[in-house]
Amino acid sequence: MALLPVADALQRILAQANALPAERVPITEAHRRVLAEDLRSLRSQPPADVSAMDGYAIRAEDVTSVPIDLTVAGEVAAGRPFDGAVKAGQAVRIFTGGEVPAGADTIVVQEQTRREGDSVIIAKLPEKGRHIRRAGLDFSEGETLLARGRLLTGRDISLAAAMNHPFLPVYRKPRIALLATGDELVLPGRKPGPGQIVYSNGYSVAALARQEGAEVTDLGIARDRIDDTVRAIQDARMRRVDVLVTMGGASVGDYDVVQQALTAEGMALSFWKIAMRPGRPLMHGRLGPIHVLGLPGNPVSAFVCAYLFLVPLLRTLTGRTDAIAQPDHALLGSDLSENDEREDYLRAKLSRSSRGALVATAFPVQDSSMTRFLAEADCLIVREAHAPKALAGSPCAIMKLPL
């Protein structure tokens, strides 16, 4: 059976994914959440003409030559407007953010004035309308400022607050469960027995998922027995997770029982095995409403597949409009041999050339068990299937890895 191309695999995964239901959360809990509706402003900012400087509010027609004395009729501060109007020959002391009083059309900055008792001397001819922030300068009531599908930054949260929204409509966080399988696995901190290794895959995958806003449940490590794996799958179903991620046990060995257990539980298999390196034994299916993603057992393969497939799935479930990351471009830092029928994702370091160009240099060993190089990598160099030999200095596509 021909291996499924990476693009086709991703298309199948996302074709079965839709944004989760929306909920309203306090604005203090909305950072890094995704808007479920366009957000319109409930007010104008500023709501009235306000001063952009400390100084005096005047009528420009009263200052046609300088120096000139004006009578100080009162004072304005932010939150304390002037009760009245500026009349001919008058000025009102005003501070930054104060509402421009009726009758005034110009602010003279205090550095261009001199106060003498109840009068102020204007020393420089003002420009009419100067230093006034007009009502609605920032935004107007009813204006849509944040669009549905936007991942909310801290700056967006500040804008939403200024728009007078105490609660924001966002998509629900995806709930995912991680299940590792393998008699050979022991948790960090324990001494491995003969033939055993320390389990590490789930930590990088969980970190990726949390960065994408998911709530992660760790189902632990299931032994290489169908009944143990089935019990863990049933646990995930009882928790009503949106995504079940398995790690290892999805190949064809006698002890690879994950696919058997999932099939016994009613999983509809979408695909198994794709044309990529690392990560050929990737599995995808549906277990009722649950998206199932079976990652390979090698730690590098698990991470790369999670980055390429789990991250876009979670972004789609959270309602983002930018679920699929677009590759960046760099120059190769070393020669690369021709590629075979599988799309390749080479771990690489980034640097800058003497001319400032971005350079990606692949690690000399690309074994999918080597977590050291994965930790040191800044990006993945993407090579198409059957790509010819490429020389150092030639352009390449890269995917920058998250920090």
Number of structural domains the chain divides into: 4
The tens digit of pLDDT for each residue in 387-401 reads 999 999 999 999 999
* Predicted pLDDT of residue 257: 87
Mean pLDDT lowest among 8-12, 165-169, 250-254, 286-290: 250-254
- Expressed as residue numbers, the domain containing 194 is 6-20+173-317
* Predicted pLDDT of residue 252: 55
Question: Is 351 a member of any domain?
Answer: yes
Q: Are residues 199 and 230 in the same domain?
A: yes
* Predicted pLDDT of residue 238: 96
Strand 290-295 and strand 343-352: pairing?
A: unpaired
Closest CA to 170 of 37, 347, 307: 37
Asked if the bond preceding 192 is cis, omega within 30° of 0, the reply is no
Question: Is 322 a member of any domain?
Answer: no
Three-state secondary structure call for residue 175: strand
The tens digit of pLDDT for each residue in 10-39 reads 999 999 899 999 999 999 999 999 999 999
Of the residues 85, 112, 133, which one is the last residue of a structural domain? 133
CATH of residue 56's domain is: 2.170.190.11
Answer whether 291's CB lies under 8 Å from 24's CB.
no
Of the residues 291, 317, 343, which one is the last residue of a structural domain? 317
Question: Is 102 a member of any domain?
Answer: yes
Question: Is 1 a member of any domain?
Answer: no
CATH of residue 390's domain is: 2.40.340.10
Question: Is 323 a member of any domain?
Answer: no
What is the mean pLDDT of the segment spanning 225-233? 93
Of the residues 317, 351, 375, which one is the last residue of a structural domain? 317
Q: Are residues 216 and 337 in the same domain?
A: no
Q: Are residues 85 and 188 in the same domain?
A: no
Answer whether 332's CB lies under 8 Å from 359's CB.
yes
Q: Are residues 26 and 165 in the same domain?
A: yes
Q: Are residues 114 and 82 in the same domain?
A: yes
What is the mean pLDDT of the segment spanning 254-282? 89
What is the mean pLDDT of the segment spanning 313-340? 95
Write out the two tokens for 25. Answer: 């959360």
Phi/psi of residue 111, nearest 5 degrees: -65, -15
Q: Are residues 126 and 212 in the same domain?
A: no
What is the mean pLDDT of the segment spanning 314-326? 93
Q: Are residues 199 and 270 in the same domain?
A: yes
Closest CA to 393 of 330, 346, 328: 330
* Predicted pLDDT of residue 251: 60
Q: Are residues 38 and 160 in the same domain?
A: yes
Question: Is 203 a member of any domain?
Answer: yes
Question: Is 299 a member of any domain?
Answer: yes
What is the band of 248 on the pLDDT scale with cuts at 50, 70, 90? confident
Q: Which residues have CB under 8 Å from 301's CB, separation 6+?
A: 278, 279, 280, 295, 368
What is the band of 384 on the pLDDT scale with cuts at 50, 70, 90? very high
Q: Are residues 66 and 33 in the same domain?
A: no
What is the band of 403 on the pLDDT scale with cuts at 50, 70, 90? confident
As a three-state string, the secondary structure of 184-251 is: CEECCCCCCCCCCEECCHHHHHHHHHHHCCCEEEEEEEECCCHHHHHHHHHHHHHCCCCEEEEECCCC
CATH of residue 267's domain is: 3.40.980.10
Amino acid at site 141: E
Question: Is 305 a member of any domain?
Answer: yes
Mean of all residue pLDDT scores within the chain: 94
Q: pTM for the complete prediction?
A: 0.88
Three-state secondary structure call for residue 298: coil
Q: Are residues 333 and 302 in the same domain?
A: no
CA distance 259 to 284: 10
Give percent above pLDDT 70 in the chain: 98
How many other C-beta atoms lie within 10 A of the C-beta of residue 127? Answer: 11
Q: Are residues 373 and 254 in the same domain?
A: no
Q: Are residues 126 and 242 in the same domain?
A: no
CATH of residue 35's domain is: 3.90.105.10
